[in-house]
Amino acid sequence: MKVSALETISLLLAPVLVSGSPSQNVTQVSIDLLDANHILHLLEVVDAYGHISVRNPDNESQFIMSFAIAPASATSQTLVTYDISNATPLHLTFNESVVGEDIPPSFSERFIHSQIYAAQPNVTSVIHSHTIEVLPFAAVGVGLRAQIGSAGSIGTLTNGTPIFDFNSVVPDDSDQLHDLFIRNPVLGDALSRTFEDGSDIVLMKGHGMAVRASSIREVTFRAFYTKRSAIVQTQALLLGGSGILPGLTEKQATDARTTNEAPGTRDRAWDLWVRQVDQTPLYVNDLRG
């Protein structure tokens, strides 16, 4: 009997028990990864689109991310282990018997993640989102600067956060698709090189942002408070500011980042967000029960 693609995905989403289960390390980061998918949707950093990944704690040449599904719908059976060197899907993380063409389609923009990991060994988690609050800044060529203490990771670069322009890599007269998708290693490498010391955010013109960090909880915190800081920067401009607002001083941003992103402070927000997603039937973290 032939099984449709939709039925295949439905079967994969059902909880399964597989021999040779992932290690405790992988299971633990996957719990956070699923929570982060749901939290980012709850906080409206992502909608039906966008994605978060984590470097495999047992193998630094791999990363884990859901296949192409809305973040709110992520479960353990949507998680896929990828090869960083070429962004190839290797197997379902929690069902290693599912390999090759049996793995549902991956995000075309997985190269954002693979190339950041390849170029930046200290990065452990990456988010790409289309957060509406940050889009206007890249559209007018104005970088973000930290406006609030909880967004110190945005930094205080003179020109604000770096901005990635798809056309700088794929000009209009090219025969390649101009849909702004980072769908190959060349574009992923170009985006990765756009990051600058002093900021963990890259704005993407017409497309959103990429955020890097050393943990899932940290990158989630950064993405949300980048959104919040962008709102403050927008409102300040409407009140009569112009250009790239000064925002915090370099010392303020650095010290505030150290304080707010320390586990004891940051996890106060994380624990609240987990409780909120647990109260919403839409979100299912089947690894936590």
Instruction: Concatenate the DSSP letters of all residues of 38-96 into one string.
Output: HHHHHTTS-SSS-EEEEE-TT-TTEEEEE-SS-GGG--GGGEEEEETTT--EEEETTEE
Cβ–Cβ < 8 Å for 226, 151: yes
Angle at alpha carbon of residue 157, lines to 156 and 160, rounded to 5°: 95
The two tokens of residue 90 are 């290797």
- Does residue 109 have an active-site annotation? yes
Among the listed residues 57, 60, 96, the one whose alpha carbon sits nearest the alpha carbon of residue 80: 96
> What is the C-alpha separation between 88 and 222, in angstroms, rounded?
27
- Looking at the chain, list the stretches that DSSP marks H as alpha helix, in order from N- to C-terminal side: 5-13, 24-42, 110-119, 135-139, 185-194, 216-238, 250-260, 263-278
Query: 3-class SS at 202?
Result: strand
Q: Which of 7, 44, 60, 109 is catalytic?
A: 109
> What is the C-alpha separation between 136 and 80, in angstroms, rounded?
33
Among the listed residues 138, 282, 111, 145, the one whose alpha carbon sits nearest the alpha carbon of residue 207: 138
- In the DSSP assignment, the letter for residue 104 is P
> What is the C-alpha separation between 244 and 247, in angstroms, rounded?
9
Give the bridge partners for 57, in sequence order: none
Question: Which amino acids are annotated catalytic?
Answer: 109
